[in-house]
Structure 1
Amino acid sequence: MNIREKYEAAKNEYEKWGIDVEKVLDKLKDVKISVHCWQGDDVTGFENSNQELSGGIAATGNYPGKARNAAELRADLDKALSLIPGKHKVNLHAIYAETGEEKVERDELRPEHFANWVQWAKRRGLGLDFNPTIFSHEKAADGLTLSHPNKDIRDFWIRHCIASRKIGEYFGKELGQPCLTNIWIPDGYKDIPSDRLGPRQRLKDALDEIFKVKVDNKYNLDAVESKVFGLGAESYTVGSSEFYINYAAKNNILSLLDTGHYHPTEMVSDKLSAMLLFSNKVALHVSRPVRWDSDHVIVLDDELKEIAKEIVRNDALDRVIIGLDFFDASINRIAAWVIGTRNMIKALLSAMLMPNKKLKQLQDEGNFTERLVLMEEFKTYPLGDIWNYYCQINNTPVKEQWLEEVKAYEKEVLSKRK
């Protein structure tokens, strides 16, 4: 049987349970994943400085062909996005500004420094998201930024965050879809602190200053991101989950949950329903922690599938902003983008092809036997045949065929980069 014939047979299997597969594919087509640009250059950026990667972040490996400038990074993203079904967004950090020969400090960045990114996104119908880069900088060298005891350092980062929000607003206006501007800081202490309250008070005051400057939330959505610990901040993180969830709720901004930023036994999939009860929107950075926040490329594992189920079964596809955040320098970087993004979409498709209403009904009835039977049996339903058809109608390669294009691009383009 060809792809279409296999699809029709699989569709019949799902339709026995009242699942309208064509409607599912139409809905999936409208879901935008925010693909992070920093996978393409190992979070180096284009500031033309020798500043080492810091802030508890590490990109390991030296696979050849990483992007060395914005033009190469955009070309690599073009190739990756051509192998991913759907129309998505690209997530930028401030260090991806293009300032020419001029050295522009981060607190002086302006929308025009991202004009090339906007024109590129416009031509391709993409949205852009944004992040101030509050690490890998001399003013973050001791691991403290917005919570720093030194007011001059705090003020520098406050100005940078305000500038970043204005850049996000510019993205939203130009591209006709809101930009998510997310603030994450590495602040914390390696050993047990003697004052936990003081740094958090300074962080709160700094955030208050940042958000005092109004930008149009029609174009820019503000988010704050927590972390449980980082390299060099093993004992205490200023921006903890409790801090940011409370701050976001009180100030009517978004809380962003990164799947690598919690204790190993905590699952973001379990947090989503609680967040959705009290927040109109929730933001995600989907990564894969291995023993720590190691930002491995996401695979189609149980937690990814459970996250997708929570989004779908709670009718929250338009309320959860899905971004990716991983960086692996040990494998082909374009392949990493494609693997991770296709898996995120595949997980959503799998969740949309579940008899979710029936499963909820069985739980409410206390019929846990039938519920477990269905949940297990659907694991081997013919998802792959639906996925292959979805790729085909979106003019993207089916199954592992996309790897041949990546190999050709590596031979023709990446291998020539020194």
Structure 2
Amino acid sequence: MSYDSAKAAFADWGVDTEEALKRLAGIPISMHCWQGDDVVGFETRSGRSGGGIQATGNHPGRARTPDELRADLAFCYGLIPGNHRLNLHACYLDTDQSPDRDEITFSHFAPWVDWAKDQGLGLDFNPTFFAHEKADDNLTLSHPDQGIRDFWIEHGKRTREIAAQMGAALGTPCVNNIWVPDGYKDTPIDRMAPRRRLEHALDAIMAAPQDKAQMRDAVESKLFGIGVEACTIGSHEFYLGYAIRKGTLLCLDMGHFHPTENVADKLSAVALSLDEILLHVSRPMRWDSDHVILLDDAILQMAQELVSADLLGRTHIGLDFFDATISRTAAWVIGTRNMQKALLRALLAPWDRLRAAENTLDYTSRLVVSEEIKDLPYAAVWAEFCDRMGVAQGQALIGDLQRYQQKVVGRG
């Protein structure tokens, strides 16, 4: 079907496709660096796994250097319509030096900032509280040893400073998201003490004020993890309360909740108490396995909630998955485009008609409309978006992905 025919079909339902395309073009997605190298990073001191984080598989083409990773990212951004961001972890420094985590400075990430400026990208940032000898107990900011806590507090302080400098250099606020793997494998005797230590450590990290025009603080919860099955110190309830009290963003990661929970349902609930939200979009399979996102019900519901509740202007959308069994560049491209496709479908819904039916308790009409619009020609509108943005689709996209994979296959 042609775009003009699709435009007319949506107009019959009172939907303006041009307005939807305009809005979609203005929604940045923060693509995560760690998909490209299986969450290894470029530290000379570490390069160890930990924190319950593991990418399985050994597909050829893993990026081994910052230059290789940037080349892969640039290729992917060329296949993703719109202007987007890069989410960088602190273990991805680009320097000949060997600073420990409590010694990093903006200079160790300056090549990333220069590259982002050339690419027209915004940057987001994350302290790395895992894959380090001082995190081997699965305790960092809540560790009973003051010296270990001080080490990680200093790391957190430095990442906030780096994030602020990134935001200033690029002219767009850098979200600095804190996630720690802290918890216990078996049932603890005292849950209150480590949570108090975590709260005090977070307060120390965020004590110095930063300009919100340059950086935003976010905190991220988790249900449980490998090695912390019995108790996760930074639970959803802990961070929800902390974010409300301290005025930070709350990060909702789709893989960090019970498999039967609907994370989309949480958006409007927390939005009543928070100014801004950070999303990490993932696809959990038997909990937090971080599969590449599909255009499935969970993603569609997340996008629908963002649009229906008018939360797009208050929500930072980032991705968080890593799969080493497939082409890493293909994973980035398909995952990011699926997030955009879900947003487009949400933007093309006849919300006024649906709300009117619901508000008059006409659930039959709500159901009929919800089901009938599933047959509308969304693909034609997406194809028009890709054409206007000058990116490949369909068979051409597959060919581009396959050719690039052949270029990097020799990396081993």
TM over 0.5: yes
For 2:176 and 2:348, the matched residues in 1 are separated by 32
5, 9, 24: which one pairs with 1:9? 5
94, 98, 101: which one pairs with 1:98? 94
The match for 1:248 is: 243
For 2:167 and 2:351, the matched residues in 1 are separated by 34
The match for 2:186 is: 191
Shift of 1:52: 2.2
Say if 2:134 and 2:140, in contact at 8 Å, map to a contact too: yes
User: What code does the residue aligned with 2:367 have?
Assistant: L
Say if 1:85 and 1:396, in contact at 8 Å, map to a contact too: yes
For 2:395 and 2:404, the matched residues in 1 are separated by 15
Say if 2:57 and 2:324, in contact at 8 Å, map to a contact too: yes
Shift of 1:27: 1.1
Say if 1:29 and 1:86, in contact at 8 Å, map to a contact too: yes
Aligned residue runs from structure 1 range 156-167, under 5 A: 156-167=151-162
Secondary structure of 1:318 counterpart? helix
Render the CA deviation track for 1:138-196: whole Å, top value 9, x for unaligned: 00011000000000000000000000001110111011111000000000001111111
The match for 1:56 is: 52
402, 409, 412: which one pairs with 1:415? 409
Say if 2:140 and 2:149, in contact at 8 Å, map to a contact too: yes
For 2:158 and 2:45, the matched residues in 1 are separated by 20
The CA RMSD over aligned residues, in Å, is 0.9
Q: Which runs of 4+ in 1 moved over 6 A?
A: none
The match for 2:121 is: 126
Render the CA deviation track for 1:281-337: whole Å, top value 9, x for unaligned: 111000010002000000001010000000011122111100000000000000000
Render the CA deviation track for 1:107-145: whole Å, top value 9, x for unaligned: 111111111111111111100000000000000011000
Secondary structure of 2:38 counterpart? coil
The match for 1:391 is: 386
Aligned residue runs from structure 1 range 108-127, under 5 A: 108-127=103-122
* Percent of aligned pairs sharing the same letter: 52
What is the number of equivalent residue pairs in this alignment? 412
For 2:104 and 2:340, the matched residues in 1 are separated by 34
Secondary structure of 1:92 counterpart? strand
Say if 1:388 and 1:399, in contact at 8 Å, map to a contact too: no
Render the CA deviation track for 1:210-234: whole Å, top value 9, x for unaligned: 1112221111000000000000001
Render the CA deviation track for 1:246-292: whole Å, top value 9, x for unaligned: 00100011110000001111111000011112212111000010002
Shift of 1:51: 3.9
For 1:401 and 1:59, the matched residues in 2 are separated by 29
Unaligned ranges ≥5, structure 2: none
Matched, 1:375 2:370: yes
391-400 or 145-154: which moved more? 391-400
Say if 1:284 and 1:322, in contact at 8 Å, map to a contact too: yes
The match for 2:401 is: 406
Say if 1:70 and 1:98, in contact at 8 Å, map to a contact too: yes
278, 282, 285: which one pairs with 2:280? 285
The match for 2:73 is: 77
User: What code does the residue aligned with 1:48 have?
Assistant: T
Say if 2:45 and 2:100, in contact at 8 Å, map to a contact too: no
27, 32, 51: which one pairs with 1:36? 32
For 1:248 and 1:99, the matched residues in 2 are separated by 34
Q: TM-score, normalised by structure 2?
A: 0.99
Unaligned ranges ≥5, structure 1: none
Say if 2:42 and 2:94, in contact at 8 Å, map to a contact too: yes
Shift of 1:400: 4.2
